Amino acid sequence: MGALPRHIGISMDGNGRWAKLRNKKRSYGHKAGSENVQKIAEHAFSRGVEIVTLYAFSSENWARPKEEVEELMHLLGDYLKKLAAKAVKNGIKINVLGNKARLSAKLNKIIAEQTAKTSGGTRVLNILIDYGGRGEIVRALNALKESGEAVTEESIRQNLYTAGMPDPDLIIRTGGEIRLSNFLLYQAAYAELYFTDVLWPDFDEAEFDKALENYASRERRYGKIEC
């Protein structure tokens, strides 16, 4: 086995199409997708990955029909409770990252309680909710403006939601679209990108391992001409 990514980002796309293929409502796909989160996160950690960052709800996803947004918010609270219970046992620290001000007080309470339980974990599971990469960069720059600290690549990095974490080595997007959709824009500068047509609810351990194998075959040059 070649190199193993320390940090993997996953854009979990394709729930709606997965449901449509089964003549079901989109919410059916979101439910199936949420049930896949724990399986894949645990599998990633079992392979030795240290940090998993999951894109669960973008700042642009608020533009979806109100009913779908409400269902997603409800589901997020629900699966966070299940995830946290398991995470405590498995030594996984859960962080919910994003603009939490726009979430309901109820969901914020669930997030605070559930993530606090997991604070002793050593592997890290970041769940991005109401997250956008551009918004994250603007937020970092505003923090620097307020503190008066000089704007440098490092000071911006220290003011991102992922402050203190290594950049993602590998970014996976399921669901067939070849785009980032505002995911980890600053952090992805030198990430290896892996796109698969597999829809998120169907993305299983074997598919995850394919992404790892593919990553292991890449030569990361960082602008140089040899490793």
Q: Catalytic residue positions?
A: 13, 61
# residues contacting ligand IPE (CB under 6 A): 17
Type of residue found at 29: G
The residue behind tokens 């952090």 is: 187
Segment interacting with ligand IPE (CB under 6 A) among 84-92, 147-155, 175-183, 218-226:
175-183
Stretch that binds ligand IPE, among 5-13, 103-111, 138-146, 151-159 (CB under 6 A): 5-13
Q: Name the residue with the smallest CB distance to ligand IPE.
A: 16
Closest to 174 measured CA to CA, from 212, 214, 202? 202
Contact residue for ligand IPE among 17, 43, 139, 157 (CB under 6 A): 17
Question: Which ranges in the chain belong to alpha helices (H)?
Answer: 15-21, 26-46, 66-90, 105-117, 133-147, 153-157, 205-216
Considering only residues 20 through 79, tell me which ones interact with ligand IPE, judged by CB under 6 A: 55-58, 61, 72
- The entry of ligand IPE, Mg ion, none near residue 17 (CB within 5 to 8 angstroms by kind) is ligand IPE
Binding residue for ligand IPE, selected from 5, 13, 42, 171, defined by CB under 6 A: 13
| Whole-Å CA distances, 223 to 7, 41, 144, 162, 194 | 21, 31, 29, 24, 19
β-partners of residue 9 are 53, 171
> How far apart (Å, rounded) are the C-alpha atoms in residues 191 and 209?
17
Taking CB under 6 A as the rule, does residue 99 contact ligand IPE? no
Which positions lie near ligand IPE, rule CB under 6 A?
Answer: 11-17, 55-58, 61, 72, 175, 177, 179, 181
